[in-house]
A = this chain, B = another copy of it.
């Protein structure tokens, strides 16, 4: 299934191994030594593939599947077609993601520093790092063990990276401290000076940005996203938060742990997001606004005021999503009534 030009496929695995990877257990009578070659969808799978049933609406597809093995919630196990090896699993989708990763591991890093890389003599690069072609690393940079820096990336003076980070190609890192296992995708820019000026009719004075960007463990930053450094306080992204492509995080922003920030969000200066916040795409947050824990925002929401924890919001300016939906419904109804009148008058 996975194109061998791009993906490595590891050797076949026994059902016993697969059950362990997926945190599943074999249904009665399943042969633990039976081997599978790869993953596949229920529709595409053959006798040597393992698949999963993630949702009750796919039960008919499951019943018609030719998959040799399948991860299934216990409640659906008795619907399996004859001959299919059933692995009982509380979270089949999650188990399948783990098995997919086991069959198709990320490229094994090839430790070493490419001879074309330009590395300052005061930089400290840990064991097992992979520094690719044309990477430029400035003075005082520290990179912990097992981290990979993609080709043509630039790591400026003083930056510190934790262990096992993956930095994509064409990335720019400056004025930042990264935790362990941080992923920064291609083209992202971390640590740029913030957009802060003292303005009046006599002209503009740029406020020096003397803060940094602090990025917690397991954070992911998407392709061509930008995270500006703080003006004095730091810009902070909490552990386990994931940020999608083309997102803008402005100076002094603080984002909590485990947040999900979808593509093209813009979080303006000094805004604060709590933990486990989830924003769909193209959301905007005004400066100095505080967003509580667990807030969820629909796509294109415009957040101009503080939002209490646990609220689900939509619209510009943002309101509880129930209100927003009612408002949209009300407006459409009014439009229909008016159109009715217009038609009567025609």
Contact = CB atoms under 8 A, between A and B. Distances in A.
Q: Chain A contact residues (Cβ within 8 angstroms of B): what range?
A: 35 or more
A133 B136 contact: yes
A282 interface: yes
Interface in A276-291: 280-282, 284, 286
A327 interface: yes
Interface stretch (A10-18, A25-33, A79-87, A98-106): A98-106
Interface stretch (A57-65, A66-74, A123-131, A164-172): A164-172
- How many copies altogether? 3
Interface string A323-339: 10011101110110011
B198 A170 contact: no
A339 to B, nearest CB: 7
A226 B223 contact: yes
Nearest to A240: B204
A169 B172 contact: yes
A254 B127 CA distance: 42
B232 A226 contact: no
Interface of A: 1-3, 5-7, 41, 91, 93-94, 97-98, 100-101, 104, 107, 114, 116, 118, 132-134, 136, 140, 150-154, 156-160, 168-172, 174-175, 185-187, 189, 192-193, 195, 197-200, 203-208, 210, 212, 222-224, 226, 228, 232, 240, 242, 244-246, 248, 250, 258, 260, 262-264, 266, 268, 280-282, 284, 286, 299-300, 302, 304, 316-317, 319, 323, 326-328, 330-332, 334-335, 338-339
Q: Output the residue of A281, A319, A338 with the most chain B CB within 10 A.
A: A281
Contact of A263 (B98, B172, B248, B317): B248
Given A264-B284, A284-B299, 11 more contacts: A6-B174, A7-B210, A91-B200, A94-B205, A97-B208, A134-B152, A151-B154, A186-B192, A192-B223, A264-B266, A299-B304
A53 to B, nearest CB: 14
A314 B191 CA distance: 31
Given A100-B207, A169-B136, A223-B189, A244 B284 contact: no
Contacts of A199: 260
20 contacts: A6-B212, A100-B208, A101-B208, A116-B118, A154-B186, A168-B192, A170-B187, A170-B189, A187-B226, A199-B260, A204-B240, A223-B226, A246-B266, A248-B264, A263-B266, A264-B284, A268-B281, A280-B286, A300-B300, A316-B316
A298 to B, nearest CB: 8
